[in-house]
Chain A
């Protein structure tokens, strides 16, 4: 669905990407993690065609995004971190924007709006930032665009809305769709994403599916000092240590995204070697 080959991008003389290769497949929800300024939003904007690769090539849904052809624009939806909705009522906004998306479904939109408890009366600008974001996410999902790019979608959402977000997104994915969510709040995507992508130093440092992660890595609470010493990553817990170990015995454990993220940043080479 999206193929990125040897992507180079820099802002003036500040390199952001120096040869990124990445493939995104339909039917998956990808979590894109990275420190501030590592280029998560830049990667999304390259895929969306807001920025043009300085070297390399991007193919998204069979299009070159930088050409910004209407047929391509109608097949993806980008939810930016910072946005401004027009000074209209919700229904009027939908009435005028929906026709641009051939697969838009009004019933679906109403369902998402109801799930998110977005007030139907009053203007969009009278809604809180979080409510506006939920309206935008509802529109994004109701367009049924095969490619959904979301930049920090949980910013500004309260705890209840974050869980609604996970529920709605999990219900919206199907075999035809691909959702790429960039965030630095990794825990917000717990139990939602099925692939983890971590960017660091202009490259993709880690790109694995959650099933492979669960297969190769063991997340556990350890009280054994020797085991703690052997861990790929460890951090003190209330009792003992939360550790990340190679999963040599095929044990079941629930991946902790935050721990994985920190472990990859600290010990990326060793962790990637386990997946080779």
Chain B
């Protein structure tokens, strides 16, 4: 006989039991899924090496493969984690398991966000490093030149998610795509509790509508309010003499406020969605 923890909100020993139970029940599909992800990446990279003679495995291509896989698999996985709540036979044992809603949500976040992100990166880099090495070996042993030049195709480096060299500017400067991933993944987690059927598709539509709404606000509402010749770039408004030139006049929110807004977007949105998911879990009826 064991003693029951008295804290009804969060107790580490109960959470640990929950994590162990989740792992032992799901490890087989998880490991198989990771193998499948690695296999798909290997196949894709091999295909690009085979068809691209000049820039196989270029960092921007690695970035695109990384971010596409992360969003696609991460959001799909996230929307599946709480999806059992939408079927009676899975929801009843899940809800009646003696652990708090917070503990169950934190267990889901541990697997769906933290461990998935680590495992995904490990799989991606294991495949990516091997394929970059392979590509560079081919480049070394079979020198190639860009058409009509004497410029030799150079070996490539492994894409680094921390420096984001080779990625588009928003990623390089703010890690915007990587951090936005956590917010969108959290939205998919919420969607799986909020929508009882077709949650992945419905959440994808909701996210798309939100992005379209935000784009409309920027382009259709704020931009027409600006004086002629001014550009609107979310937190930065500037007038330029010619397109792409340096700004003549620039108005931007204070750096400290900009940092707060960016941080809220990066870290606040996932926390907000997780909080709403927790509220929905408490209200969930089966």
Interface residues of A, Cβ cutoff 8 Å to B: 45, 48-52, 68-71, 73-74, 76-78, 80, 82-84, 86-88, 92, 96-97, 99-103, 105
Query: How many Å lie between the Cα of A142 and that of B271 in the bound state?
Result: 39
A-contact 0/1 string along B103-120, CB 8 Å cutoff? 100000000000000000
* B93 close to A83 (CB less than 8 A): yes
Choose one: B1, B25, B95, B285; the contact of A87 (CB below 8 Å).
Answer: B25
Choose one: A52, A78, A100; the contact of B17 (CB below 8 Å).
Answer: A100
B14 neighbours in A (Cβ, 8 Å): 70, 100
B89 neighbours in A (Cβ, 8 Å): 80, 82-84
Task: Report whether over half of chain A's contact residues are helix, strand or loop; otherwise say mixed.
Answer: loop
Interface residues of B in 24-74 (CB under 8 A from A): 24-25, 28
Interface residues of B, Cβ cutoff 8 Å to A: 1-6, 8, 11, 14, 17, 20-21, 24-25, 28, 88-93, 95-101, 103, 282, 285-286
* A99 close to B2 (CB less than 8 A): yes
Task: Report whether over half of chain B's contact residues are helix, strand or loop; otherwise say mixed.
Answer: helix
Query: How many Å lie between the Cα of A99 and that of B100 in the bound state?
Result: 15
* B98 close to A70 (CB less than 8 A): yes
Given contacts A50-B285, A84-B89, contact A70 B21 (CB under 8 A): no
Choose one: B4, B88, B99, B101; the contact of A82 (CB below 8 Å).
Answer: B88
> Taking the nearest CB of chain A, how far is it from the CB of B149, in angstroms?
58
A84 neighbours in B (Cβ, 8 Å): 89-90, 93
> Taking the nearest CB of chain A, how far is it from the CB of B98, in angstroms?
4
Choose one: B20, B93, B96, B99; the contact of A96 (CB below 8 Å).
Answer: B20
User: Can you name 9 A-B residue pairings with CB atoms under 8 Å?
Assistant: A52-B285, A68-B95, A70-B5, A71-B8, A73-B99, A80-B88, A92-B24, A96-B21, A99-B17
Choose one: B4, B6, B25, B282; the contact of A86 (CB below 8 Å).
Answer: B25
* B17 close to A73 (CB less than 8 A): no
Choose one: A45, A48, A52, A74; the contact of B98 (CB below 8 Å).
Answer: A74
Choose one: B8, B88, B93; the contact of A69 (CB below 8 Å).
Answer: B8
Query: How many Å lie between the Cα of A92 and that of B97 in the bound state?
Result: 17
B103 neighbours in A (Cβ, 8 Å): 70
Among residues of A, the one whose C-beta sits closest to the C-beta of B8 is A69
B97 neighbours in A (Cβ, 8 Å): 73, 97, 100
Give the residue among A49, A70, A80, A105 with the most B Cβ atoms within 10 A: A70
* B96 close to A73 (CB less than 8 A): yes
Query: How many Å lie between the Cα of A84 and that of B92 in the bound state?
Result: 10
* B24 close to A96 (CB less than 8 A): yes
Query: How many Å lie between the Cα of A52 and that of B283 in the bound state?
Result: 9
* B96 close to A48 (CB less than 8 A): yes
Query: How many Å lie between the Cα of A51 and that of B6 in the bound state?
Result: 24
Choose one: B8, B28, B88; the contact of A70 (CB below 8 Å).
Answer: B8
Query: How many Å lie between the Cα of A96 and that of B25 in the bound state?
Result: 9
> Taking the nearest CB of chain B, how far is it from the CB of A62, in angstroms?
13
* B3 close to A102 (CB less than 8 A): yes
Query: How many Å lie between the Cα of A69 and that of B3 in the bound state?
Result: 16
Given contacts A100-B99, A101-B98, contact A78 B8 (CB under 8 A): no
* A74 close to B4 (CB less than 8 A): yes
Query: How many Å lie between the Cα of A196 and that of B14 in the bound state?
Result: 38
B1 neighbours in A (Cβ, 8 Å): 102-103, 105
> Taking the nearest CB of chain A, how far is it from the CB of B278, in angstroms?
13
Query: How many Å lie between the Cα of A99 and that of B101 in the bound state?
Result: 18
Choose one: B6, B28, B90, B92; the contact of A78 (CB below 8 Å).
Answer: B92
Among residues of A, the one whose C-beta sits closest to the C-beta of B284 is A50
A83 neighbours in B (Cβ, 8 Å): 89, 92-93
> Taking the nearest CB of chain A, how far is it from the CB of B172, in angstroms?
44
* B100 close to A69 (CB less than 8 A): yes
Query: How many Å lie between the Cα of A88 and that of B8 in the bound state?
Result: 29
* B21 close to A97 (CB less than 8 A): yes
Among residues of A, the one whose C-beta sits closest to the C-beta of B99 is A70
Give the residue among A51, A52, A88, A99 with the most B Cβ atoms within 10 A: A99
Query: How many Å lie between the Cα of A105 and that of B2 in the bound state?
Result: 10
Query: How many Å lie between the Cα of A50 and that of B97 in the bound state?
Result: 12
A76 neighbours in B (Cβ, 8 Å): 96
Given contacts A45-B286, A71-B4, contact A100 B90 (CB under 8 A): no
Among residues of B, the one whose C-beta sits closest to the C-beta of A92 is B24
Enumerate the 3 nearest inter-chain pairs by beta-carbon distance, A residue then B residue, closest first. A74-B98, A73-B98, A86-B25
A49 neighbours in B (Cβ, 8 Å): 95-96
Choose one: B3, B282, B286; the contact of A50 (CB below 8 Å).
Answer: B286
Query: How many Å lie between the Cα of A253 and that of B228 in the bound state?
Result: 97
Among residues of B, the one whose C-beta sits closest to the C-beta of A74 is B98
> Taking the nearest CB of chain A, how far is it from the CB of B144, in angstroms?
50
**Given A80-B88, A84-B89, A100-B14, 13 new contacts (CB under 8 A):** A48-B96, A50-B92, A68-B95, A71-B98, A73-B98, A74-B4, A76-B96, A82-B89, A92-B24, A97-B97, A99-B17, A100-B98, A102-B2
Query: How many Å lie between the Cα of A242 and that of B95 in the bound state?
Result: 45
Query: How many Å lie between the Cα of A116 and that of B125 in the bound state?
Result: 51
Query: How many Å lie between the Cα of A78 and that of B91 in the bound state?
Result: 12
> Taking the nearest CB of chain A, how far is it from the CB of B60, in angstroms?
41
B99 neighbours in A (Cβ, 8 Å): 70, 73, 100
Among residues of A, the one whose C-beta sits closest to the C-beta of B2 is A102
